[in-house]
Structure 1
Amino acid sequence: MRGSRAGRWVVAIPMAALALATIYPLVFTTNVAMKTRHDYILDRFSPARSPNLDNVTTAWTNVGMERYVVNSLVVVTSAVALLLLIGSMAGFALSHLRFRGSRALFLGCLAALFVPFQVIMVPLARIMADGRLMDTYAGLILAYVAQFLPFTIFLMTSYYTGIPGEIVDAARIDGNTVYGVYRRVMLPMGRSALLSAGILNALFCWNDVLISLLMMPSPEHRTLMVGVTSLRGQYSDDIPVFASGVLIAALPVLVLYLFFQRQIADGVTAGSTKG
Structure 2
Amino acid sequence: MPGMRLSRWLLAVPMSLLALATIYPLLFTANVAMKTRRDYILDRFSLTDALRWDNISTAWNSAGMSRYFVNSLLVVALSVVLLLLLGSMAGFALSQLRFRGSSALFLGCLAGLFVPFQVVMVPLARIMADTALIDTYPGLILVYVAQFLPFTVFLMTSYYKMIPSEIIDAARIDGNSVYGVYRRIMLPLGTPALLSVGILNTLFCWNDVLMALVMMPSAEHRTLMVGVTSLRGQYSDDIPTFASGVLIAAIPVLVVYLFLQRQIADGVAAGSTKG
- Equivalent position of 1:187 in the other structure: 187
Is 1:233 the counterpart of 2:259? The answer is no
Cα deviation, residue 3, structure 1: 1.2
Residue pairs, 1:84-123, within 5 angstroms: 84-123=84-123
- Equivalent position of 1:10 in the other structure: 10
Cα deviation, residue 10, structure 1: 1.2
Count of aligned residue pairs for this structure pair: 275
Cα deviation digits, residues 91-121 of structure 1 (max 9, x gap): 0000000111100010011011011100001
Residue pairs, 1:8-157, within 5 angstroms: 8-157=8-157
Cα deviation digits, residues 120-167 of structure 1 (max 9, x gap): 011111111111111000000000000000000000001001111111
Identity of aligned pairs, percent?
Answer: 77
| 1:68 aligned partner, one-letter code | Y
How far apart are the structure 1 equivalents of 2:268 and 2:112? Answer: 19
| 1:210 aligned partner, one-letter code | L
Residue pairs, 1:118-267, within 5 angstroms: 118-267=118-267
1:213–1:222 Cα contact (<8 Å) kept: yes
Cα deviation digits, residues 203-234 of structure 1 (max 9, x gap): 00000000000000000000000000000001
3-state SS of paired residue (1:175): coil
Cα deviation, residue 50, structure 1: 2.3
| Structure 1 segments of 4+ aligned residues over 3 angstroms from their partners | none
How far apart are the structure 1 equivalents of 2:203 and 2:272? Answer: 19
Task: In structure 2, list runs of 5 or more residues that go unmatched.
Answer: none
How far apart are the structure 1 equivalents of 2:158 and 2:145? Answer: 19
1:135–1:215 Cα contact (<8 Å) kept: yes
| 1:255 aligned partner, one-letter code | V
Cα deviation, residue 264, structure 1: 1.4
RMSD over aligned Cα atoms = 0.8
1:68–1:223 Cα contact (<8 Å) kept: yes
How far apart are the structure 2 equivalents of 1:8 and 1:163? Answer: 38
How far apart are the structure 1 equivalents of 2:15 and 2:274? Answer: 28
| 2:32 aligned partner, one-letter code | V
3-state SS of paired residue (1:272): coil
| 1:200 aligned partner, one-letter code | L
| 1:113 aligned partner, one-letter code | L
Cα deviation, residue 274, structure 1: 4.3
1:228–1:242 Cα contact (<8 Å) kept: yes
3-state SS of paired residue (1:114): coil
Question: TM-score with structure 1 length normalisation?
Answer: 0.98
How far apart are the structure 2 equivalents of 1:100 and 1:258? Answer: 44
How far apart are the structure 2 equivalents of 1:266 and 1:274? Answer: 14
How far apart are the structure 2 equivalents of 1:267 and 1:227? Answer: 29
How far apart are the structure 1 equivalents of 2:250 and 2:141? Answer: 21
